[in-house]
């Protein structure tokens, strides 16, 4: 007979991971050797950290890699109130009694998915340490409440994203967390490439895409002068969609770039003037 706390007494439900499979290739335009580096890390199941500013392609890259490797992708958006149980799982009351529910990380570990912890630095450090035994040579996830150590499936891999620019020292990752990961740096692509991405993703023509990329360059020059970041590739795509859908270029840029990026009237004026110089 299993003891009250042994895994057999509380069988975990076997989840259907088919919902996490990516059937259609997500469009991803490589910028450097990121695909080769990720594939090499995957071959050794090394954990990977994607570093870079908002809207530069990190999430799209993970989706593309999950598709390329034929693995399901389980994504968790980290936040301040996230607990280790939110990742690992918990006992819940049900008509059949107390039933254990694997959390998203445990599902990925047991069944061999890629687990993407987005903006990991938002989580408290005591939450983050649950990934430590998983991301060193042990590759195990201890579930204390279940009295179980889950050995990672051969196809499990952990990916985290991290934006070094926005964090305060208090929120930075522990050194012992950082040093477990292979890191891949992301940034906004070179103008020709970014125009190609905007054209493709926004359904914009080549001329419109080029103008939007030039606007992005102007806004990125204002980094540190009132703007934390310039316009992201994501913003350019939004502006491109509005403009390709019939909104005037000026109105599209105002709605998709200028207004969302700053609440400061002076910075908005400076940005508006810089952008006006780029418009045809």
Ligand X SMILES: Nc1ncnc2c1ncn2[C@@H]1O[C@H](COP(=O)(O)OP(=O)(O)OP(=O)(O)O)[C@@H](O)[C@H]1O
Q: Which is nearer to ligand X, 128 or 163 (CB)?
A: 163
Q: Examine residue 75 and tell whether it contacts ligand X (CB under 6 A).
A: no
Q: Which is nearer to ligand X, 53 or 89 (CB)?
A: 53
The closest of 190, 186, 189, 208 to 199, measured between CA atoms, is 208
Count of residues of this chain found to bind ligand X when the rule CB under 6 A is applied? 19
Question: Which of ligand X, Mg ion, none has residue 54 at its interface (CB below 5 to 8 Å by kind)?
Answer: ligand X
Q: Which is nearer to ligand X, 42 or 116 (CB)?
A: 116
Q: Examine residue 213 and tell whether it contacts ligand X (CB under 6 A).
A: no
The piece of 52-60, 105-113, 237-245, 263-271 that touches Mg ion (CB under 5 A) is 52-60
Q: In whole angstroms, how far apart are CA 178 and each of 96, 128, 136, 164, 237?
A: 42, 11, 12, 12, 32
Q: Examine residue 54 and tell whether it contacts Mg ion (CB under 5 A).
A: no
DSSP collapsed to 3 states, the chain = CCCCCCHHHCCCCCCCHHHHCCCCCCCCCCCCCHHHHHHHHHHCCCCEEEECCCCCCHHHHHHHHHHHHCCCEEEEECCCCCCHHHHHEEEEEECCEEEEEECHHHHHHHHCCEEEEECHHHCCHHHHHHHCCCCCCCCEEEEHHHCEEEECCCCCEEEEEECHHHCCHHHCCCHHHHCCCEEEECCCCCHHHHHHHHHHHHCCCHHHHHHHHHHHHHHHHCECCCECCCCCHHHHHHHHHHHHCCCCHHHHHHHHHHHHHCCCHHHHHHHHHHHHCCCC
Q: Examine residue 241 and tell whether it contacts ligand X (CB under 6 A).
A: no
Q: Examine residue 73 and tell whether it contacts ligand X (CB under 6 A).
A: no
Q: Examine residue 262 and tell whether it contacts ligand X (CB under 6 A).
A: no
Among 7, 59, 145, 191, binds Mg ion (CB under 5 A): 59
Contact call for residues 43 and 155 (beta carbons, < 8 A): no
Q: Which is nearer to ligand X, 67 or 91 (CB)?
A: 67
Q: Which is nearer to ligand X, 29 or 153 (CB)?
A: 29
Q: Examine residue 146 and tell whether it contacts ligand X (CB under 6 A).
A: no
The piece of 58-66, 175-183, 210-218, 248-256 that touches ligand X (CB under 6 A) is 58-66
Contact call for residues 224 and 234 (beta carbons, < 8 A): no
Q: Examine residue 10 and tell whether it contacts ligand X (CB under 6 A).
A: no
The piece of 123-131, 141-149, 151-159, 233-241 that touches ligand X (CB under 6 A) is 233-241
- Beta bridge partners of residue 98, listed in sequence order: 93
Question: Which of ligand X, Mg ion, none has residue 167 at its interface (CB below 5 to 8 Å by kind)?
Answer: none
Q: Which is nearer to ligand X, 68 or 101 (CB)?
A: 68
Chain position whose Cβ is nearest to ligand X: 57
The piece of 19-27, 35-43, 56-64, 71-79 that touches Mg ion (CB under 5 A) is 56-64
Residues at the site binding ligand X, with contacts judged by CB under 6 A = 27-29, 31, 52, 54-60, 163, 189, 197, 201, 233-234, 237
Q: Which residues bind Mg ion (CB under 5 A)?
A: 59
């Amino acid at each position: 007979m299993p003891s009250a706390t042994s895994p057999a007494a509380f069988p975990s439900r076997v989840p259907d991971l088919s919902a996490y499979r990516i059937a259609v290739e997500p469009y991803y335009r490589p910028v450097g050797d990121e695909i080769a580096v990720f594939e090499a890390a995957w071959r050794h199941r090394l954990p990977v950290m994607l570093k870079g500013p908002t809207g530069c392609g990190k999430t799209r890259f993970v989706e593309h890699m999950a598709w390329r490797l034929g693995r399901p992708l389980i994504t968790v958006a980290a936040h301040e109130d996230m607990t280790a149980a939110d990742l690992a799982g918990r006992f819940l009351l049900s008509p059949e009694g107390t039933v254990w529910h694997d959390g998203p990380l445990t599902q990925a570990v047991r069944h061999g998915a890629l687990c993407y912890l987005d903006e990991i630095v938002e989580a408290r450090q005591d939450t983050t340490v649950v990934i430590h035994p998983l991301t060193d040579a042990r590759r195990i996830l201890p579930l204390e409440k279940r009295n179980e150590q889950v050995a990672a499936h051969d196809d499990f891999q952990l990916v985290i994203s991290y934006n070094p620019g926005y964090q305060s020292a208090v929120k930075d990752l522990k050194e012992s967390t950082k040093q477990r990961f292979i890191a891949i740096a992301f940034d906004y692509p070179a103008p020709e490439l970014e125009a190609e991405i905007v054209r493709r993703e926004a359904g914009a023509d080549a001329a419109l895409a080029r103008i939007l990329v030039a606007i992005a360059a102007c806004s990125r020059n204002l980094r540190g002068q009132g703007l934390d970041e310039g316009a992201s590739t994501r913003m350019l795509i939004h502006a491109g969609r509005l403009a390709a859908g019939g909104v005037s270029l000026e109105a599209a840029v105002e709605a998709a770039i200028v207004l969302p990026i700053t609440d400061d009237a002076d910075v908005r004026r400076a940005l508006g003037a810089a952008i006006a110089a780029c418009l045809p």
